[in-house]
Structure 1
């Protein structure tokens, strides 16, 4: 007889199992094995394998919407955004589940002479001593849309814990009608698969991040292959701010 549920985290872990047993491609727990294999072959023609930052992130800096400070790259992959931020004066912590991704990111950082602190693990289970916030900027380019619905609770709790008052969340995720599964949250638990990632609408993002202030939400610009920036039109880009008054209240 299994009677192990005592806390909210116990419930979330129980729900995790619905997806991991079905080979869900998500970004916590057993998903590490999938992502480690995904990043093992660096020659694969995957658009976000290129060492280019998100065009939206570059635009936020160029327009003065964000300024250098302490940054956390959540699900950093091969480190393209982390290295860009470091080059623009940020103190960067970058976390990912996959050792293969971090090994690649560390190689890139060494080649570029960039000072980035890489952390291997599940960001939602790492201690304060490992993700040493507060951070002025949290960057998520492709993490949220690989999470099962119940892990949005963990995601928001992480933001509440590490995002500084006045700090920003820079988010990139699948756009409904262009990329990703459009099944309802309830139906995802019936099929027990994330189907490659979840699509979001602007309304759903605004609801999820309703405790933050929207600065900008738009489709990502489609960047040509020769561009120094990464951009795909099937993605949303969003910048949200944690208001100092709300954080202190």
Structure 2
């Protein structure tokens, strides 16, 4: 399916087809905090932690507070972690329940977060502001007709040389639906899985991909999150 050059009205019409991908749906998802879901923990992604440890994501210096953007921040587990490392973090999520949970997490950790309950496409994101953009579980919930706009959003948000850290479904982690089936069923079916080639196609024209690998399962007690049905990718703005 070709979604190039769609105007605002056409995008809105396709949005309307996906009747299950709504804010109330996500509020219900996050309202049940006892749900057995790895994303509901407090642990940051093993990839994000590792890239900070090995210096591929530079740590904030004593006199610098780089800006970081967490798209689809959920309960704030990565946003809080980055704030603890010294980043000035802005988090965006569609769900009011998720944002309220992230606010609680930030208060408990005594770190500042700037949070917006809004679609990522409507978020107040200044062009070239962010040294780091993080997406752990948002991209695989982006509808096919919005993919190109999402890649453009990330590219515009990044400062020159800025870094993008992505975590998303591999094929075995996703719903298995094709783009055509998404619109036939009116749903992404819980999220779309991507092959390595597809991720390189979607992101490689805008960013330099530095690493793309299967997520690792951290050792027990490590305090990190990782599931093998996910990809992790680190990329740099040209």
* Common fold: TM-score over 0.5: yes
Q: How much does 1:112 deviate?
A: 0.8
Q: Deviations over 1:26-45 (max 9, x none)?
A: xxxxx211111111122222
Whole-Å separation in 2 of the counterparts to 1:75 and 1:145: 11
| Contact residue 177 and residue 189 of structure 2 kept, 8 A | no
| Contact residue 134 and residue 164 of structure 2 kept, 8 A | yes
The worse-fitting range, judged by mean Cα deviation, of 163-172 and 217-226 is: 217-226
**How well do the aligned residues superpose, as a CA RMSD in angstroms?**
1.6
Q: How much does 1:234 deviate?
A: 0.4
Q: How much does 1:223 deviate?
A: 2.5
The match for 1:207 among 201, 211, 216 is: 201
Asked if 1:149 is matched to 2:144, the reply is yes
Question: Which runs of 5 or more structure 1 residues have no equivalent in the other structure?
Answer: 1-6, 25-30, 244-249
Whole-Å separation in 2 of the counterparts to 1:118 and 1:225: 31
Asked if 1:165 is matched to 2:156, the reply is no
List 4+ stretches of structure 1 deviating above 4 A: none
The match for 1:107 among 98, 104, 108 is: 104
The worse-fitting range, judged by mean Cα deviation, of 209-218 and 223-232 is: 223-232
Equivalent in the alignment of 1:242: 237
The match for 2:170 among 163, 167, 175 is: 175
Q: Deviations over 1:171-228 (max 9, x none)?
A: 000001x211233323322333211110001100000012210110001011255330
Equivalent in the alignment of 1:116: 113
Whole-Å separation in 2 of the counterparts to 1:9 and 1:125: 13
Whole-Å separation in 2 of the counterparts to 1:144 and 1:12: 17
Whole-Å separation in 1 of the counterparts to 2:124 and 2:98: 21
Asked if 1:19 is matched to 2:18, the reply is yes
Secondary structure in 2 aligned to 1:124?
helix
Equivalent in the alignment of 1:45: 36
Q: How much does 1:232 deviate?
A: 0.5
The worse-fitting range, judged by mean Cα deviation, of 188-197 and 141-150 is: 188-197
Equivalent in the alignment of 2:77: 80
| Contact residue 170 and residue 195 of structure 2 kept, 8 A | yes
Secondary structure in 1 aligned to 2:167?
strand
Secondary structure in 1 aligned to 2:213?
strand
| Contact residue 127 and residue 158 of structure 2 kept, 8 A | no
The worse-fitting range, judged by mean Cα deviation, of 57-66 and 223-232 is: 223-232
Secondary structure in 2 aligned to 1:108?
helix
